[in-house]
Amino acid sequence: MAAPLRFGLVGYKFMGKAHSNALSRIPMFFDTDRPIQRKVLCGRDAAWAGEAARRLGWQEVETDWRALVAREDIDCVDITAPSNVHKEIALAAAANGKHIFCEKPLALNLADAREMLQAARKAGVRHQIGFNYRFAPALVLAKRMIEEGRLGKIFHVRGSFLQDWIIDPEYPRVWRLDKAVCGSGSLGDLGAHVIDAARYLAGEFASVTGMSRTFVRERPLVERMEGLSGKAAQGAPRAPVEVDDATGFVCEFACGAMGMFEATRFAQGHKNDMRIEVNGEKGSLRFAFERMNELEYFSAQDDEGLQGWRLIQVSEGVHPYWDKWWPAGHVIGFPETFCHELYEFIQCVAQGRECVPSFEDGVRCAQVMEAVELSIQRKAWVDVDSL
């Protein structure tokens, strides 16, 4: 039997739980070329990390990620900690010869993302970024249909990611609203997913111009974090919010298509509403993550009088990843996208091949986001490849 891939996980809250769940379920449903061992969970608070390790099925605990990445009994480092520590952990993991899975955004800025990519390449380790939305079977199918020419020349790409969880001005300034920790607000947290999905389907961005707003400019300081949520004490001091609450931009793709994108946390009634639509000369596709088991398709080549949007149910074994799950009609959800992406990472490490999406995709996404931010500062178009 092949030697196990021994994982060390940094972080144990929202994304740490998602990754732990995926790593526990992959052996139940997928055949991997090397078995998985959930070896060490790392968190700063020994008591909390110990309880998380017990609940999430990790064998040991470390309270210092530096010790984790140096351990000889760790093969893969999985980074789910906040964005401001991604770079430092990844550089140390690469220097210690560990394969690296890192949640998005790859880093706080483009320069740091490029440094992470260069370090991973120099070390010769496998590297993957956590763009889990592109592992929804419907988006994988959309990619295949575009590559097969079913849409023909692409004219338009529209993407949005809408949430509403911070509209209350008394909601505390959690780490996702602290620029020093997260780098950017809705653009980096939500827009990154839509940018990656658009690159996945339509190719590279050529130029962008955008606008952003911060609707609530100061918030009470957070007292404690509870997953994605935070609590503030009564009368807590307030601090400025320096990240965007909403960002929108238009763009031109290298293929000549037009693009329009929006990311906001101020859209009442929208909880995790990520959508993307692609319009081409022969047809169109549209996808909404809150209905992730469906893909809508319009073909202009259907017979006259029979044209219309058709709903493709991707919950059948003929669709990507579905042969590993349930009978037709028994849908999957958000957690399974992490199973798919980590399964691909494990197979790439086991087989010694390049991961997709890699840190290169993280750099490309960071390049687009930095171009959007620069365009907002300049109030002008910015060529993405100029950065």
- Please report, for the domain that includes residue 316, its CATH number: 3.30.360.10
Q: What is the pLDDT of residue 232?
A: 67
153 with 79, same domain: the answer is no
Contact yes or no for 7/56 (Cβ under 8 A): no
What does the pLDDT average to over 322-345? 96
What is the percent of the chain where pLDDT is above 90? 94
Q: Which pLDDT value is given to residue 145? A: 98
Predicted pLDDT at 230:
67
Same domain, 145 and 293: yes
Q: Is residue 58 part of a domain?
A: yes
Q: Is residue 40 assigned to a domain?
A: yes
pLDDT at 1: 72
Q: Which of 133, 150, 182 is the last residue of a domain?
A: 133
Task: Please state the pTM of the whole predicted model.
Answer: 0.95
User: 127 and 189 share a domain?
Assistant: no
Inter-CA distances, 276 with 24, 71, 157, 260, 378, Å: 30, 42, 7, 10, 27
Q: How many other C-beta atoms are found inside a 10 Å radius of the C-beta of residue 1?
A: 5
pLDDT in tens, 38-81: 999 999 999 999 999 999 999 999 999 999 999 999 999 999 99
| 195 in Cβ contact with 261 (< 8 Å) | yes
Residue 384 lies in a domain: no
Asked if pLDDT for residue 228 goes beyond 80, the answer is no
Domain boundary among 111, 133, 155: 133
Asked if residue 107 belongs to a domain, the reply is yes
Q: What is the pLDDT of residues 91-119, one digit of tens each?
A: 999 999 999 999 999 999 999 999 999 99
**Total number of residues shown for the chain:** 387
Residues 117 and 140 in one domain: no
Question: How many domains in the chain?
Answer: 2
Tokens of 359: 């840190």
> How far is 27 from 36, CA to CA, in rounded Å?
8
Residue 69: give its domain's CATH number.
3.40.50.720
Rounded to an integer, the average pLDDT of 276-290 is 98
Q: 105 in a domain, yes or no?
A: yes
What's the rounded mean pLDDT across residues 107-136? Answer: 98
Query: What pLDDT is stored for residue 317 in this prediction?
Result: 87
Residues 71 and 126 in one domain: yes
Residues facing residue 158 across a β-bridge: 260, 277
Q: Confirm whether 344 is domain-assigned.
A: no
Most distant CA atoms of the chain, gap in Å? 67
For position 231, what pLDDT does the model report? 66
Whole-number average pLDDT of the chain: 96
* HSE of 370, CA atoms in CB hemisphere, 13 A: 20
Residues 148 and 295 placed together within one structural domain of the fold:
yes
pLDDT in the model for residue 222: 82
Give the pLDDT band (50/70/90) at residue 157: very high
Residues 297 and 222 grouped into a single domain: yes
Tell me what pLDDT residue 295 has.
98
pLDDT digit string (tens) for 173-210? 998 999 999 999 999 999 999 999 999 999 999 999 99
Residue-number span of the structural domain to which 65 is assigned: 5-133
Residue 271 CB-half CA count within 13 A: 3
Question: Does residue 341 form part of some domain?
Answer: no
Domain boundary among 88, 103, 133: 133
Question: 109 with 141, same domain?
Answer: no
Mean local confidence (pLDDT), 11-19: 96
Confidence of residue 226 (pLDDT cuts 50, 70, 90): low
Residues 213 and 300 placed together within one structural domain of the fold: yes
* Same-domain status, 54 and 128: yes
* Residue 227's pLDDT band (cuts 50, 70, 90): low
Q: What residues have CB less than 8 Å from 9, skipping those under 6 apart?
A: 16, 19, 20, 38, 40, 41, 42, 58, 78, 80
Is residue 154 in a domain?
A: yes
pLDDT digits (tens, 9 = 90+) for 238-253: 999 999 999 999 999 9
Say if residue 267 is in the same domain as residue 220. yes
> What percent of the chain has pLDDT above 70?
97
Mean pLDDT of 124-152: 98
Looking at residue 225, its pLDDT comes to 60
Residues 185 and 221 grouped into a single domain: yes
